[in-house]
Amino acid sequence: MYLKRVELHGFKSFADKSVIEFTPGVTGIVGPNGCGKSNITDAIRWVLGEKSAKALRGDNMSDVIFSGSEDRKAQNLAEVTLVFDNEDHYLDYDANEVEITRRLYRINNEAEYYINRQPCRLKDITTLIMDTGLGKDTLSIISQNNINDFVAQKPEERRPLFEEAAGVAKYKARKRESVAKLERTTNNLERVDDIVVELEKQVGPLKRQKEKAETYLAYQKQLEEVEVSVLVKVIENLSTQLKTLDDQIKTSDQEKTVNDGNILIKENQSEELSKKMFHLDQDVNNLQNELFTVMKNVSDLEAQKATIDASRKQAASSNNQEDLKAKIASLKGILKDALREYNDRVERYQEVKAEKEQLSAQQSQNAQAQEVLRHEIENLNFEIHKKRSEKTQLVDQIENKSNYGYGVRSILKAKDSLSGILGTVSDLLTAQKGYEMALATALGGSVQNIVTASEDDAKRAIAFLRKNHAGRATFMPLEKMQPRKVREDHALICEQAAGCLGLMSRFVSYDEKITPIVENLLGNIILADNLDHASQLSSLLYARYRIVTLEGDVVNVGGSLTGGSMSKKNNAFAQKEALERLEKAIKKDEKAYNEKRIALNHAENEGRELSSLFMQKQMSFAKLEVVVTNKKNELTMAKSDYEAAAKDHEDLVDDVVEDHSLLDELNAQKKRRDELSEEIQAKRTLRMSYVNEKEALENELKTMRSDNRRYEKALTENKIAKTKHETEIQNYLMRLNDTYMMTFEHAKTLADPDIDLDASTRQVKELRNRIASLGSVNTEAIAQYEEVSARYEELTKNRQELKAAQDKLLTAIEDMDHIMVDRFTKTFEAINKEFNNVFRTLFGGGHAALHYTNPDDILETGIDIEAQPPGKAAKLHSFSGGENALIALSCLFAIISVRPVPLCILDEVEAALDMANVERFAKYLQTFADRTQFIVVTHREGTMAHCDLLYGATMQQKGVTKLVSVQLKEAQQMAS
């Protein structure tokens, strides 16, 4: 292996790219002082790994970059490449030619390294040349200072040169690395030992805490399994009982409501009967007074009539021929009276018959009216029940959100145990009247969004849903909601556009604290009166906004249209308005129902009165039939008597005008008497029916009031029981949620439906006692123990590995020590023997030897030199500079003799020698030239004469070095 060439660019005085070709043998580089020839030595040293700027004759590393001259600008980088012929593969690199390059940039002092143009590290270069004889601290580069210092060095300072020769440098480097590793390993082992000891103190207590925590968690898990089943069973039982109670409350409430209505109606009926009875009593009293007067009149008139009748009968009974005329007149008077009475009774008979028929017609009309009222009452009752059912459904939808998503309902049920749940959007917003459909359309599915106080509240709610498999929901944290707005110029267009009513957010009522929600959902949605105007407005706004109409049609962003019929059933805002309307309608129907019931009661009372009057007329009619028959018989008899008396005595019959006023008055008074008696009897009969009816009503009212007290008691008891059950259910649900973070629905999927409730309840109590007996429990101890235990085991393993590594390093260091001692000893002895021979050759006699300063420690001993030139004592400090140089060169050549190096650069090492010694030096170089390539920087002619190739270093341009191949004569001139 040899150095084929050196390529320099920007290194020190080599401003231009320079290539120096070398051949095996001795190459000389000559030139005057200051021409930059030593820069070649520095360049080679730099590439081979020199890191000290001072060793390169500078203050800092950037000084190696050409700094410029009067005629040349400074370079920004320095680059040097050494090219070695490696056909013998002396360098451990799979290439016949090896290029080693080092590059340095002025900016940031950034350095780059390459081997065969492949980027590498400086360490890769030093590893490549280690123990090859190349390197910044080896025999490959020897300067005048090295030669001068060699003899004066301390014995310990000479040792590295002999180590390089003995080839133990790599072992020493490895030993240093091993010792450093051993030190680090020992330090690590000490730290690990300290940590292991500390962890051993923690493992025991943590293990006990961990076992306690595991027992606690096992009890907790068992408790959860059992208690969840118990809670589910209890909640189901209570829910069943609660449903029964609800049914009973509903039934009792309905019965009480019906009973209250009936009581009210019965009380009205009773009150009305009392009024009627009062009026009947007054009527009867007045009628009786009038009847008394009429009966007195009848009595007086009948007395008068009896007198007349007696006179007539007396006249009629006379057989005297002289009284015959008076007899016929009397019989004629009786006949006329009989006829008048008969006609009067027939007229009365016809009147009663007509009244009876009229009452019968009124009864039919009354019965029909009652039927109509009953039908209307039945229809109203059906409507009331129907609307109450609709109200129940609406209340369920509004309060329980029965038509909302499962996730939303789950969150609302667990609202009390979840922090920050403010409610759904539909709960927090109220549409202004007439805008319900528009608002529902604008919000769409967002009505079910749940508003939370913070993002963390929303995250906890989502975790709750995920744990319970309770569906999904959308959450709107107040703190995160950003408003959506309409641009000012677009808002001006809206104000001028036909049919634009404004932003949808203006038509809702809400609490001020949820303003961010409203502005986020509705702040950029525009309301129009109809679809045509909405479409026109969308065109004006370039279809950038969503526009809704009062009827629920939509012009979407981008211009698409959505519309058609829409059910109000699931419209959360219409539901509230519908509930109000329904409640008003129910009240209206209930009022009408009660009014119809009262009207029916009036009709029934009227029917009873008509029935009573009809019965009375029926009786009067029957009596009059008898009276008419009697009066007819009386008329017939009177007629017969008259005709018998008047027969054959027509001349005695006179057309005497008679006064019938008494009879007419008597008939009128009798008629009035009969009418009064009939009316009094009818009213008394009616009053008696009212008395009976009122008594029946009072009995019914008594029963009803008793029923009401029973209903009220049942309602109170059931409501108390319901409240208790609801509280218990809520407490159990809260326990499920707070303790186990479960919804009831999720708990049901985990519960055992066949548990024995009593036994399981006892088991829960027992498990709680066991948990309580454990005292304070650190559940984190499990993870802490696992962590500490794993770390303890890992560190224990590491300690074992470190001890094994320590033992291995100690063994390796010991082995390397043996190798280094063996190699160093053998090499030292060979160099010592050769040193004496070279010394005698260069000095022409004398004696020289090398000695250990500490033979007992070969690895650390210094190297002492004993030299005795011919005719002088062996005292190094008394030698001249030339003698010291020869001694150093003798040692150098001795080392090269024992351990040849591929390349040796000698930088004016013979400067202190006289001409004769220079000649010896130069000749001696030639003895090694077949094994070692020498590059000699020199001023001496004797050295030049023995060089195989000569280069001259010049500065044709100030500050810039040029190298040219020269002949010996030219070299002598350049050096002089």
Residues 472-499 as b or e (16 or more Cβ within 10 Å = b): ebebbbbeebeeeebeeebeeebeebeb
Reduced 3-state DSSP string for 778-832: CCHHHHHHHHHHHHHHHHHHHHHHHHHHHHHHHHHHHHHHHHHHHHHHHHHHHHH
The answer to whether 474 touches 449, Cβ cutoff 8 Å, is: yes
Beta strand pairing call for 421-424 and 450-452 = antiparallel
Q: Cα separation of 911 and 146, whole Å?
A: 12
**How far is 216 from 210, CA to CA, in rounded Å?**
9
Q: What does the alpha-carbon distance between residue 291 and residue 279 come to, in Å, rounded to a whole number?
A: 18
Phi and psi (nearest 5°) for 85?
-80, 120
Length of the chain: 976
Among the listed residues 552, 522, 559, the one whose alpha carbon sits nearest the alpha carbon of residue 446 = 522
* 652, HSE (Cβ side, Cα atoms, 13 Å): 19
* CA 833/CA 825 separation, integer angstroms: 12
Q: Is 33 annotated as a binding residue?
A: yes
Distance CA 898, CA 641 (A): 203
Contact 910, 919 (CB under 8 A): no
φ/ψ of residue 110, rounded to 5: -75, 130
959 is in an annotated binding site: no
CB proximity list for 645: less than 8 A, separation 6 or greater? 316, 324, 327, 328, 331
What is the maximum alpha-carbon separation in the chain? 240
Number of H helices, E strands in the chain: 22, 24
Q: Is 751 helix (H, G, I), strand (E, B) or coil?
A: coil
Say if residues 443 and 574 touch (Cβ distance below 8 Å). no
Amino acid identity, position 648: D
Q: At CA 923, angle to CA 920 and CA 927, rounded to 5?
A: 130
Distances (CA, A) of 136 to 2, 120, 129, 131, 895: 17, 19, 10, 12, 17
Residue 215: exposed, middle, or buried by beta-carbon count in 10 A (0-12, 13-18, 19+)? middle
What's the CA gap between 790 and 799, in Å, rounded?
A: 14
Angstrom distance (rounded) from CA 555 to CA 806: 81
- Ligand-binding site membership of 37 (annotated): yes
- Residue 844 annotated as lining a ligand binding site: no
**Phi first, then psi: what are they for 10, rounded to 5°?**
80, 10
- Indicate the pairing of strand 949-957 with strand 960-965: antiparallel
DSSP state, residue 14: B
Q: Kind of pairing, strands 77-85 and 97-105?
A: antiparallel
DSSP assignments along 852-909, one per residue = ES-TT-TTT--EEEEEE-TTS-S-GGGS-HHHHHHHHHHHHHHHHHHS--SEEEEEST
CA–CA gap between residue 79 and residue 426 (Å, rounded): 78
C-alpha distances out from residue 339 to 329, 620, 661, Å? 15, 21, 14
Q: Output the CA torsion sign for 381, 387, 391, 397.
A: positive
Q: What are phi and psi of 70, to 5 degrees?
A: -65, -30
**Distance (Å, whole) CA 605 – CA 165:** 145
Q: Could you give the CA distance from residue 168 to residue 174 in angstroms, rounded to a whole number?
A: 10
122, 104 Cβ separation under 8 angstroms: no
Query: Is 870 known to sit in a ligand binding site?
Result: no
Cβ neighbour number for residue 260 with a 10 Å cutoff: 13
Q: Flag whether 201 is marked binding.
A: no
Annotated binding-site residues read 32-39
Annotated binding-site residues for ATP read 32-39
